[in-house]
Amino acid sequence: MKILVAIKRVVDFNVRVQVKPDGSGVATDGVKMSINPFDEIAIEEALRIKEAGKADEVIVVTIGNNSAQQQLRTALAMGADRAILVESESSIQSLKAATSLLNIVQKEQPGLVIMGKQAIDDDNNQTPQMLATLWQRPQATFVSKLEINGDTALATREIDAGLETIEITLPAVVSTDLRLNEPRFVKLPDIMKAKRKPLDIINIGETIEGFFDKELAIKNYEPPQARQKGIMVETVDELVAMLKEKGLI
């Protein structure tokens, strides 16, 4: 069985994001970029399934410009077998990403697609569900535990009420939650080995032929308002009066 893992290149979660002075986007010049943290969990889970003898190959794919090769090489250093870069110089929204990934899925015919539940830059939480719908295959989202049993998988999902366990028939799409696993550290020898692993590059136009390109246009970005200084009150009555004055009660 092949496992396909979709990843995204994002600003590293330790970096304080800055908006460009003209409000046209987020400043990325000289900024550390990394694999989306949820996608690292997806890679780790795919590798664990392979190491357990339940998969033969792990393929990582991303959509982005040529710089995204760095994140693919990191995934290869973690243990993935090969990588695919769907090259695009413009930012891609969820439906176009899902359409492009569908093309890759149809070519590779994986038994399982694993993705992070959302990217930390746009927080959309849309692409896994869209891909499953386009592919017309089962899905399990927000997964915190995954067991592969032949042609089925048992997935424990994080939901508002607690945990839900469902069984899905493979092939399927799984999106990962934070508690699924702890991604491994990449070692220097593995980084060197990753340079010799195959990385294919294709143009996004080849994967979205016939796509109706009508997307949301983001006109402006702005940072959140600075947090206001707190106000100290001495009595409960003073607190209640202030809340009433602000129309909060």
Q: Measuring CA to CA, which residue among 150, 149, 152 is closest to residue 140? A: 152
Q: Please check the confidence at residue 46 and state whether its pLDDT lies above 90.
A: yes
Beta strands (DSSP E) in 79-214 are: 82-87, 112-116, 139-149, 152-159, 162-169, 172-176, 199-203
In which band, very low, low, confident or very high, does the pLDDT at 134 lie, cut at 50, 70 and 90?
very high
Q: Please check the confidence at residue 224 and state whether its pLDDT lies above 90.
A: no
Segment 158-174, tens digit of pLDDT: 998 899 999 999 999 99
Pairing state between β 112-116 and 139-149: unpaired
Tell me whether the omega of the peptide bond preceding residue 21 falls within 30 degrees of 0, making it cis.
Answer: no
Query: What DSSP assignment string belongs to 43-85?
Result: HHHHHHHHHTTS-SEEEEEEEE-GGGHHHHHHHHHHT-SEEEE
Q: Which two tokens stand for residue 4?
A: 């396909």
Q: What is the mean pLDDT of residues 132-143?
A: 97
**For the chain, which domains are there?**
2-216 (3.40.50.620)
Q: Please check the confidence at residue 138 and state whether its pLDDT lies above 90.
A: yes
Residue 212 identity: F
Q: Which two tokens stand for residue 168?
A: 């899905």
In which band, very low, low, confident or very high, does the pLDDT at 91 lie, cut at 50, 70 and 90?
confident
Q: Please check the confidence at residue 214 and state whether its pLDDT lies above 80.
A: no
In which band, very low, low, confident or very high, does the pLDDT at 35 lie, cut at 50, 70 and 90?
very high
Q: d(Cα 68, Cα 148) in Å, to the nearest integer?
A: 30
- Contact criterion met (CB below 8 Å) for 8 and 128: no
In which band, very low, low, confident or very high, does the pLDDT at 230 lie, cut at 50, 70 and 90?
confident
Q: Please check the confidence at residue 236 and state whether its pLDDT lies above 90.
A: yes
Q: d(Cα 8, Cα 140) in Å, to the nearest integer?
A: 20
- Contact criterion met (CB below 8 Å) for 40 and 183: yes
Dihedral (Cα; 57, 58, 63, 68), 10-degree rounding: -120
Averaged confidence pLDDT in the chain: 92
In which band, very low, low, confident or very high, does the pLDDT at 113 lie, cut at 50, 70 and 90?
very high
